[in-house]
């Protein structure tokens, strides 16, 4: 059973997942596990792991598609190492894990087994105590996430 629960950003807890669209004319779609210093950035596709640089309206639509995909996803399959980087592939979407470094551009992080395990836990539909994983959207106040 899928247990992702939509909540308002200000009500989301420390282990929530955020679906973020930074304010800009050209922007990215980001899946942010709050519990980790890692962001997963949406890529162009299965064969093209460059970040999807989207117009804001396209990014908003992609963020909604990511939410719909999360609600269908089992939370287990799809996390893998491709070309030395951690990738999440599910429901036709591809996201690449990047270390979150404020003020620095995103770059795919090198895969380490501990990071893969931590991401698997942080993305699971249920938290360690069996409660549904909260998911929030932030499309306006990116700096507050």
Tens digit of each residue's pLDDT (9 = 90 or more) over 25-64: 899 999 999 999 999 999 998 889 899 999 999 999 999 9
The pTM of this model reads 0.92
Helix (H) or strand (E) holding 93: strand 93-99
What is the residue extent of each domain of the chain? Answer: 5-144
Tens digit of each residue's pLDDT (9 = 90 or more) over 82-137: 989 999 999 899 999 999 998 899 999 999 999 999 999 999 998 888 889 999 99
CB half-sphere exposure, 6, CA atoms < 13 A = 9
CA distance 114 to 67: 26
């Amino acid at each position: 059973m899928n247990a992702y629960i939509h909540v308002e950003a200000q009500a989301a807890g420390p282990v929530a997942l955020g679906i973020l669209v930074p304010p800009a004319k050209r922007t990215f779609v980001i899946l942010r596990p709050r519990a980790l210093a890692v962001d997963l950035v949406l890529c162009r596709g299965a064969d093209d792991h460059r970040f999807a640089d989207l117009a804001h309206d396209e990014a908003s639509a992609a963020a909604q598609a990511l939410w719909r995909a999360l609600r269908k996803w089992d939370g287990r399959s799809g996390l893998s190492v491709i070309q030395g980087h951690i990738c999440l592939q599910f429901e036709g979407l591809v996201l690449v894990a990047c270390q979150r470094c404020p003020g620095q551009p995103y770059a795919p992080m090198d895969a380490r087994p501990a990071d893969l395990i931590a991401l698997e836990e942080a993305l699971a539909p249920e938290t360690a105590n069996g409660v549904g994983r909260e998911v929030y959207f932030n499309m306006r106040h990116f700096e507050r996430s």
